[in-house]
Every structure is written in C-alpha cells, then in structure tokens.
Amino acid sequence: MDRFNPLAKLPTEARLRQLQIISSRLVESLLAGNYRSVFRGPGLEFDEVREYVDGDDTRRIDWNVSSRMGSIYTKTYREERELNLFMVVDLSRSLDFGSEERSAREVALIATALLTLAATHNNDKVGSVLFTDRIESWIPPAKGRRHAMRLLQELVSVTPQGVGSDIALALRTVNESLKRRGIVFVISDFHSTGYQRELALLSRKHDVVAVRITDPLYKDLPDFGFVQFADLETGATLRAVSDSRRFRFLFEQFWARQRQQWLRECRRRGVSAIEIATVDHVADRLIAFFKRHRKR
C-alpha cells in the first residue's frame, strides 16, 4: 500500500513537492514494467531509400529515384515512436471519499503524476484536462520536464468550481480538440451516466484507457451500526442500519452491478479498463495493466 497523502493540508508548493517525491520513487518501477512498449506510435515516418529486394512492397517503389539511378529503389519507413499522452482527470467531490487512509482523489493524483512523469522520461508529449460538471483546466500536449511540472502544479493547485461529474462533456471536449492520435487516460470513479456515446466516439480516434478509482467499502460494507450516508455532490442523505444483513447485501449488490455495467461498456467500446482501489499500490496496478496489455 502507498502510505502517502499528497492532499494533506499543506501549502500548494509543499503538496507539489510531496507528489513529486512519491511519483519519482515509483516511476522507475513503472518504467521497468515497460510502460513504453505497450503502445504503438501514431503511424509511420519516412526513413530512407534503398535498392529494391525480393519481397519488398511494390507500392513503396520510388519511381523518381529508380529512373535516375537506373535500377529499382524503394522507400523504407520506421514506426513513429513519439506518443501523445492525454490525461482526463475527474475532480468532482465524490472522489473526496475514502474509507481507509487515502481518498479516491489522492489515488487519482498519484496515478496522473506517475503516467505524466513516465511520459516525460520517454520524451513523449503529455497534456491534461481537469473536469467536474464543467471544464476546470486544459493543458495542451507538450514535451519536457518543465511542462510536466506545470501540469502537476495545476493538478494540485486548481480549486474546482463545479461539484458534479460530467464525463460526457470532458470526453467530447477531448475528442473535438485533439487532432493527432494518442493515448487518452480517463481517471475517475465513474459515478456518472450518459457518457457512453462520447466514450465510443473517442475510442475510434484514440487508444482509450479507463482508470476507475474505487474503495473496498463498496465490496464489503462493515457493520457500523446506525449510519448516515451523504452524497458529496448533491448533499442527499440516507440513514440506514448497517448491521442489517439485507441492507449490506443490497448495498454491495448495487455497487457490484455498477462495476459490471462499467466493465461491459468498456468492452463494448473497445476501451481498456483498470481498477485501482484506495488501498492499492498504484504503480503495481499500472504495471500489471501494462503487462496484460502487452501480452494482448
């Protein structure tokens, strides 16, 4: 378990330093898990012209060079390895919840920082959109550590103006704004509806990875006795007796159905899915995903 708290009540600069320390220590293990090898470049770029040999693709013959040289020459290409990584990060109030020592927001921060620094280490471009029920911040993709630090600075210092979560708006904004193919990580608890169409449209243009932040309480509700649940986004409350076996069953079944619906939607839309609980080691969960992705 990562026993860190980048959202501690510290000044912004101190929080940023703390997040950097956490991420820098973990990013080496992420890179060792071959972050780079699981994604292909966006296309092919011209490499050189050489003499044609049997088996070469005749469609790549360079007839201008061939006519000048008096023999057949063909164009060769190499995979364009520079990647565009784009982070779509949910800042809605529901991510403030955490039944253990970390909230879902802290886990989202660590995951975003790890992926950002891994991309920077590999000289890839990285950008982000932070959202609630509106777009809170947009940083276009660029290279370099200074740019990465700007992105992380924005991540820890932004004060969200919205409270809810409009995933559809965020995905639509990314789809309309990103012209070049890339890898889009959507980091959220996915306590939202109505985003499936936008998810499908985005996945047609980009490699999309949905990172769902969850909490062990959703799978196993402890016996707290009399409790009051509060929706952090709407303020609605529910009083219940958690030592009721029927209530715990219904509560856990509700969240199990939510999870299955989310997984089903990801599969239908061709979206890769990662689940990270608030008690998980974030780097380990990402490494496990990259290993599965590479094998596939």
Q: Is residue 6 in a domain?
A: no
Q: Is residue 221 in a domain?
A: yes
Q: Is residue 236 in a domain?
A: yes
For residues 74 and 54, state if they share a domain: yes
In this prediction, what percent of the chain has a pLDDT beyond 70?
80
For residues 52 and 162, state if they share a domain: no
What is the model's pLDDT at position 295? 62
Q: Is residue 178 in a domain?
A: yes
Q: Is residue 31 in a domain?
A: yes
For residues 62 and 182, state if they share a domain: no
List the chain residues with pLDDT less than 50. 1-8, 33
For residues 120 and 251, state if they share a domain: yes
Annotate 237-265 with b (16+ C-beta within 10 A) or e (fewer): eeebebeeeeebeebeeeeeebbeebeeb
Q: Which of 58, 80, 102 is the last residue of a domain?
A: 80
Q: Is residue 127 in a domain?
A: yes
What is the model's pLDDT at position 81? 59
Q: Which domain holds residue 180?
A: 12-38+82-295
Give whole-number Cα distances, 92 to 37, 62, 97, 214, in Å: 32, 55, 11, 14
pLDDT (tens digit per residue) in 202-246 = 999 998 999 999 999 888 877 676 777 767 777 777 777 777 788
CATH number at residue 167: 3.40.50.410
Q: Which of 80, 103, 136 is the last residue of a domain?
A: 80
For residues 197 and 76, state if they share a domain: no
For residues 63 and 30, state if they share a domain: no
Question: What SS3 class is residue 60?
Answer: helix
What is the model's pLDDT at position 2? 39
Q: Is residue 23 in a domain?
A: yes
Q: Is residue 7 in a domain?
A: no
d(CA 153, CA 163): 21
Q: Please give the model's pTM, rounded to 2 decimal places.
A: 0.77
How many separate domains does the chain show? 2
For residues 192 and 288, state if they share a domain: yes
What is the model's pLDDT at position 4? 41
For residues 92 and 67, state if they share a domain: no
For residues 144 and 72, state if they share a domain: no
Which contacts qualify for 206-209: CB closer than 8 Å, 24 or more apart? 206/86, 206/178, 206/181, 206/182, 207/39, 207/181, 207/182, 207/183, 207/272, 208/183, 208/184, 208/269, 208/270, 208/271, 208/272, 209/183, 209/184, 209/185, 209/271, 209/272, 209/273, 209/274, 209/289
